[in-house]
A and B are shown apart, each in its own frame.
Chain A
Amino acid sequence: MKRHLISAADLTRDDAVLILDTAEEMARFADRPIKKLPTLRGRTIVNLFFEDSTRTRISFEAAAKRLSADVINFSAKGSSVSKGESLKDTALTLEAMGADAVVIRHGESGAPHRLATSGWIGGSVVNAGDGTHEHPTQALLDAFTTRRRLVGREGAGLDGLRVTIVGDILHSRVARSNVHLLATLGARVTLVAPPTLVPIGVESWPCEVSYDLDAVLATSDAVMMLRVQRERMNAAFFPTEREYARRYGLDEDRMARMPDNAIVMHPGPMNRGMEITAQVADSPRCAAVEQVANGVSIRMAVMYLLLGGAEPALSRTDEAPTETPMPQENN
């Protein structure tokens, strides 16, 4: 049975909590002298990256290697893809090589969905970011980081926590995945952006929208700052970089207005001075570096659960799932 992770919207609360709890177990191994688990020995995972993203790729690569999987990195640049090979032919090639899972990063929204539903390949598909659609493992690691910092209890969701996501919502796959997952886990989400960077149709999302960052800071348990590309200025999404930073950037004054235990997150890479000042980025309240470490644990958990690790290697070996809980991508 094929199993994929395409959209955070496909995860039930139980699925999401299981991934977070599994990631906690994976994280415990990260503190041991020998970090490697034999779980996915003999399985092949392909990192199929049509967009440059060194951070995400090495995170998936580290996760797969710690599970003892064989990892093949397929970068579109310099390969036949840049010479006009289609996604289909690439997929057929990977299938012929016996890929058990394909981790795909693609500039077109929906490309992982096509890969999973077209019949081109038989293995699992993990969406590592598609266009302006979704980036579900990022949302999972954000939820993991938030739960660790603010809840500190396995088996729990994020019930009642107030999470504010600030920045280029329109073009953000991170925001889309986070809105779905945070709502599923019981958090209350507020999106903050200039109106030009909020998608038409947002009213059907399970969240609030505000154009005023200062108005929501005092009631935010976590503030997630999104990277804003400077080029957006040229398409008139905002007048200047400085005006954006003044109205929507997080600086120390604004951070001081957040509740005492509230945290700051950023999916990286940060535009210091644009959406976040260096002082905030380097403060103890900013969890950006933890997010990176947590990303490996989350991706280990996702691949373990998707590929249904043949050899039980976790601490709770007796209950290692034989039937994996991830839902099948439908429609």
Chain B
Amino acid sequence: MTDQKTTLLRGARILGGEPQDVLIEGGVIARVGRGLQAAGAEVVEAEGRVLLPGLVDLHTHLREPGREDSETVLTGTRAAAKGGFTAVHAMANTFPVADTAGVVEQVWRLGREYGYCDVRPVGAVTVGLEGKQLAELGAMHDSAAGVRVFSDDGKCVDDAVIMRRALEYVKAFDGVVAQHAQEPRLTEGAQMNEGRVSAELGLAGWPAVAEESIIARDVLLAAHVGSRVHICHLSTAGSVEIVRWAKSKGWNVTAEVTPHHLLLTDELVRSYDPVYKVNPPLRTEADVMALREALADGTIDCVATDHAPHPHEDKDCEWGAAAMGMVGLETALSVVQHTMVESGLLEWSQVADRMSHRPAAIGRLAGHGRPVAPGEPANLVLLDPAYRGGVDPAGFASRSANTPYEGRELPGRVTHTWLRGRATVVDGALK
């Protein structure tokens, strides 16, 4: 799985610092310094571009098995590599559901076989995502896939007893339950954020309280049983307050935010264009600002894409009939640069923390999210922050094109990605 080729990066700004040279040898970072020489090495002139550890996504829908018309492990991991990711966590809501060792091992093996990006399957918490009976969490952990993150994402583990048991049970192997916080009764038929815009548009509301009440319950449960809990795609200012409070108590709570919740608001739904339909829904400007601030101050630990590919026909229809979700792997870093770096909220070193170190730590993922230093695995991404360009889904490696950013100008571009020293992306193109 490693590449024996030697690569010399010249003038790369590690974590946005001063330009240095980086020598990659045998799949690891061999040396870091100025004026490095290596005979026979392939030289990449970084020309002041920014070098970060390969990005890690805690929340990716690869859709295989079952919905290969929207994405496969191959197309999804190619999209991931193009977006600068070296590891993704593949969500469990496939067909069949990833609730057995067999399914998670299949997904994991496909990822290894293709070699674009490490695929870390997420195991379902309950059988069939039905919230009734625990899936064989231990078997999934013990499998070759080594599952450490469990989630019924797409559905909330809404039964308090099942949630409590899951939180407790995974302690045996240092797993974590990633909760899709959505009180189901409060969101029956919900189509968009409940507020001024939903009132005008006549679309059934998805109230902030439906997310916040579950998060409040789950941080209390996690504290009670001494487990850790991870909150998926946190989307409201109120959720930020609850997580901030839980962390102030010293409870083991982590949270992620998606790029789209850092940028887009429910005002976009006025177009009734289902490309803006997503779950949890786009919220208000005040929520967006609170999420950015929380990601900056560490209340929210990390960015996760919730990359959710859907075939064209599932978005080329009326709002109510459309599927929820947006693709995000190939635009995540640009959105974070736009919303967090160019607004002065995060330094590049902190971007590395929020998009690589922290998600790898939450997922207990070895070999990723490591420092860019000698002896570390050469999982790296080189990006050109000066780049400006419009988003064109025709150029996506993903099989789906349901991006909310089509035609929008976003900064930055991934030029190179290395997975254990092997270049998966060179000059913006997949290898």
- Asked if B202 and A87 make an inter-chain contact with CB atoms under 8 angstroms apart, the answer reads no
CB-CB nearest in chain B for A118 = B316
Given A117-B271, A201-B195, the answer on whether A88 and B203 have CB atoms closer than 8 Å is no
The reply to whether A176 and B200 contact each other, CB–CB distance below 8 Å, is: yes
A108 x B207 contact (CB < 8 A): no
Of A87, A134, A204, the residue contacting B321 (CB under 8 A) is: A87
CB neighbours (8 Å) of A199 from chain B are: 198-199, 205
- Check A186 for interface membership: any CB of B closer than 8 A: no
- Number of B residues, CB within 8 Å of A: 25
* CB within 8 Å for A200 and B201 given contacts A88-B316, A109-B319, A131-B320: no
Nearest residue in B to A111 (C-beta to C-beta)? B318
Q: How far is the CA of A178 from the CA of B197 in the complex (A)?
A: 17
| A113 to B204 alpha-carbon distance, docked (Å) | 17
Are B200 and A106 in contact, CB atoms less than 8 angstroms apart? no
B211 interfacial by beta-carbon distance below 8 Å:
no
User: Please, how many angstroms separate the alpha-carbon atoms of A106 and B321 in the complex?
Assistant: 12
**Interface residue tally on A, bucketed by range:** 20 to 34
Which of chain B's residues have a CB closer than 8 A to the CB of A202? 199
User: Considering the complex, which residues of chain A in the window 225-279 have a beta carbon less than 8 Å from any beta carbon of chain B?
Assistant: none
Fill in one digit per residue for A93-120: 1 if any B CB lies within 8 Å of its CB, else 0. Answer: 0000000000000111111011001100
Rounded to whole Å, the gap between the CB of A311 and the closest CB of chain B is 35
Interface residues of B in 79-120 (CB under 8 A from A): none
Residue in B194, B197, B271 whose beta carbon sits within 8 Å of that of A331 in the complex: B271
From A132, A200, A331, contact of B202 by CB (8 A): A132
B residues in contact with A87, CB < 8 Å:
317-318, 321
Contact B197 A200 (CB under 8 A): no
Residues of chain A lying within 8 A (CB to CB) of residue B200: 176, 201, 204-205
| A 127-141 binary contact with B (CB < 8 Å = 1; else 0) | 000111110000000
- A204→B270 CA distance, assembly (Å): 15
Answer whether residue A188 sits at the interface, using C-beta atoms and an 8 A cutoff: no
Q: Please tell me if B272 contacts chain A, counting CB pairs below 8 Å.
A: yes
User: Hey, what's the 0/1 contact readout for B324-343 against A, CB within 8 Å counting as 1?
Assistant: 00000000000000000000
Do B202 and A86 have beta carbons less than 8 Å apart? no
Q: How far is the CB of A302 from chain B (nearest CB, A)?
A: 20
User: Does A173 make an interface contact (CB < 8 A)?
Assistant: yes
Q: B265 → chain A, closest Cβ, in Å?
A: 14
Whether B18 is near chain A, meaning CB under 8 Å from some CB there, is no
Tell me the bound Cα distance from A149 to B428 in angstroms: 70
Q: In whole Å, how far is B269's beta carbon from the nearest beta carbon of chain A?
A: 9
State A117–B204 Cα separation when bound (angstroms): 22
Q: Which residues 260-314 of B have a CB within 8 angstroms of A?
A: 270-273, 313
- In the assembled complex, which residues on chain B have CB atoms less than 8 Å from the CB atom of A109? 191, 201-203, 272, 319-320
Q: Collect the chain A residues with CB atoms within 8 Å of residue B271's CB.
A: 113, 117, 331
Residues of B within 8 A of A (CB): 191, 194-205, 207, 270-273, 313, 316-321
Given contacts A87-B318, A114-B273, A200-B195, 6 further A-B contacts (CB under 8 A): A86-B317, A87-B321, A109-B202, A131-B320, A133-B202, A134-B202
List residues of A whose CB falls within 8 A of some B CB: 86-88, 106-111, 113-114, 117-118, 130-134, 173, 176, 199-205, 331
* 9 tightest A-B CB contacts, nearest first: A133-B202, A201-B199, A110-B272, A108-B320, A132-B202, A201-B196, A199-B199, A109-B202, A111-B318
